[in-house]
Structure formats: structure tokens, C-alpha cells
Structure 1
Amino acid sequence: MTLPESPRDDFITRLRSSWKRALPEVDTSPVELLGRITRISALSIQQLDRVLVSSGISRSEFDVLCALARSDRPLRASEVTAETMLSGAATTKLTSRLEAIGLILRQRLERDGRVVLLQLTDAGRNLVETEFPRCVAHDRELLAGLDDSEQRVLASLLQRISANAESSR
């Protein structure tokens, strides 16, 4: 992972400079933070896709598997959709593929055939147990240079921004 020569030369700083030239009357200070959050998210997602390539699944498929791994019961497809923030159509497509490759089971609820319950197979659980630590190690690399105290402060500040974002949906 290569870092910019100077934090002042990063993508977001250059972006803000470009906007200052194009629209000097617009205060782009929110981009200083939210632009970085968005960029970090996009870069992290790309990197996680590369981490997962050897497993044969995409990050979105892994997100579905992780939602199921965290649950102590089979989940409705709609619950997986809510948990992963995927669309219902994407959840259907992803779970069909995950079922086809033997990582999850899809079962219709007996009393209501419209409801689909999803659960991990042993192979799905094994994949999560292998890949999740690799993903956490990747996340840890992104936080290199921040001590525990800085990470706690950053987490607290991001939690407040996240709460603002969730309350304005």
C-alpha cells in the first residue's frame, strides 16, 4: 500500500482544490471528511474484493454469508437484505448462486411458502471462519499508524456521523 508523499497531496485535497477553482463560492469543507470516508470505503471494498478472490466469492456474497454467520437462527431473505443493505433483487441473485455452490440452504417456511429462510451450510461456515480473519487483518492494515486511543476517538466520531446519516434516511 503506497501512501501519498504528503497528506496534503491526497486525492481529496486535490479534489477540493479543483472545486475551489471551478466553484469558488461553494464551501467544500464537508468533502474534507465525507469525501475521505467515501473514498476510504470505495478503496477498502476494492481491496476486500481482492482479498476474497481466492475464495471464489464476491464481497457481496461474503456479506450475505457473514450476516448468516452472525445470526443464531436462519434468516428470512428480507432480513438478509436489511442486514447487508443490498437490494431484494441482489439478495435473491446472490443467494441463488450461494445455494448453487453449496454455501447456503434456502428453505420455504412451511406455514407461509412466500417466506424463504436462509442458513449456512458447513462449507459456508468454514468459508466465513477462514476468510473473516483475513478481512479483519486487511482492515487492521488500513488503521496502521493510529494507536488504540486514536482509533477509539475516530470510532466515536464516525458513530456520530453514522447516526446522523441513519436518522436522515
Structure 2
Amino acid sequence: MDRTPDLIAVARDQWRAVHPDTDTSSMDVVGRVLRAAAVLRRRLDAVLADGGLNRAEFDLLCALRRSGAALTAGQLNEQTVSSGAATTKRLHHLAERGLLRRTVDEHDKRVARVQLTELGREVIDRAFHRNLAAERRLLDALPEAREDELTRGLADLLRALEGPPSG
């Protein structure tokens, strides 16, 4: 089977020709993580699109499903790392599709809470399981020991980048 060349190694070689005295070793990790993320996102986004969702809608619906409770738009912003305007637009679109409903908070009438409808639960459960199956297929090419090693390495990288959990 023909494999795509290691584009990061190719890029490093090209940069070495342009700037021979520049250390490009960071590209080994950062470049590969970014490239892997782009390839994974493209393939998984196709799975979500088949179910009528985009990644941002999927993430928002997953946050609601996992929480098991109604959430405010602000809480959804935090969980999905989205702007208020983007979340509001998604909420409006998903409500129009009948996947969620907004209700006024009984204690503070200025606050709206969002929760999944029955149709929303069905849609996100189906999309979630399809997405997990697709993720598993994508990782099947890795031996289990390599996947475990990669999991630990990426967890270490994220801890270094994000710092210790706030608590």
C-alpha cells in the first residue's frame, strides 16, 4: 500500500536547506500532533456530517448529554471552549431542529437553561456511538502497546501545556 510521505520530515528537510543553522526539531512533535489532529478531524467530521451534525454541534450536544442536567449558555461556553456568540447561534439552530429546548431559570428569570429533547438524546447517542466506532477504526492500525504509549505521551504533553488541573 502506498503511504503518504512523512510530510513533517519533508518540511524539516526543506527548512534545513533554507535555514541550515535553525533547529526545527520542535516540528517533530508539534507538526505531527497538528497534522494528526487535522487528519483525524477531517475523517471524524465526515462521520458526523453523515448524521447531520458538525463538530461544534456535536461537542455542544455531548456536553449536554454528559451533564445529565440543563446547562446555561455560559456553562456550555466553558465546556466547549466557544465564544458566547457562537454558542448562542448553535443553540438557536439546534433548538429549531428540535434537538434541545431552552427554559427560563426559575430562580433568576434573566438566565436560560438548555436541555436536550428526546430527539436530541437520540441524535447525540447515535452520533456518539458512530464517532467512537470511527475513532476505534482509525486507531486499529496501532498496536495496543503503541496506543498506550501514545496516550501517556499526549497526556504528558497536555499537562505540560495546560498546567495542573484547577481544583
Which TM-score applies when normalising by structure 1? 0.88
CA distance in 1, matches of 2:122, 2:44: 18
Query: For residues 85 and 2 of structure 1, do their structure 2 counterparts lie closer, same or farther at Cα, with a shift above 3 Å needed?
Result: farther
Distance 1:40 1:107 in 2: 40
Paired position in structure 1 for 2:98:
102
User: Could you tell me which residue of structure 2 aligns to residue 34 of structure 1?
Assistant: 30
The amino acid that maps onto 2:91 is: T
Corresponding residue of 1:19: 15
Residues 135-164 of structure 1 deviation map (CA, whole Å, 9 limit, x = unaligned): 112211221232222212211110010111
Q: C-alpha displacement at 1:44, in angstroms?
A: 1.5
Give yes or no for the alignment of 1:126 onto 2:140. no
- Paired AA for residue 48 in structure 1: L
Q: How many residues align?
A: 164
| Counterpart check, 1:92 vs 2:92 | no
Alignment correspondent of 1:144? 140
Cα gap change, 1:114 to 1:36, in 2 (>3 Å): farther
2: distance between equivalents of 1:69 and 1:133?
Answer: 13
Unpaired segments ≥5 residues, structure 1: none
1:45-86 Cα distance to aligned partner (Å, 9 max, x none): 122221122222211101100111111211121121111112
Q: Please list, as runs of the form range in 1=range in 2, the aligned pairs for 1:156-167 lying within 5 A after superposition.
A: 156-167=152-163
**SS state at 1:110 partner:** coil
Q: Does 1:111 align with 2:107?
A: yes
My pick for the range that moved more, 82-91 or 97-106, is: 82-91
5+ long unaligned stretches in structure 2: none
Instruction: String of CA shifts for 1:72-105, please: whole Å, max 9, x gaps.
Output: 2111211211111122211111111001101111
Q: Which residue of 2 aligns with 1:72?
A: 68
CA RMSD in angstroms comes to 1.9
Deviation at 1:2, TM superposition (A): 6.8
SS of structure 2 residue aligned to 1:114: coil
Percent identical residues: 37
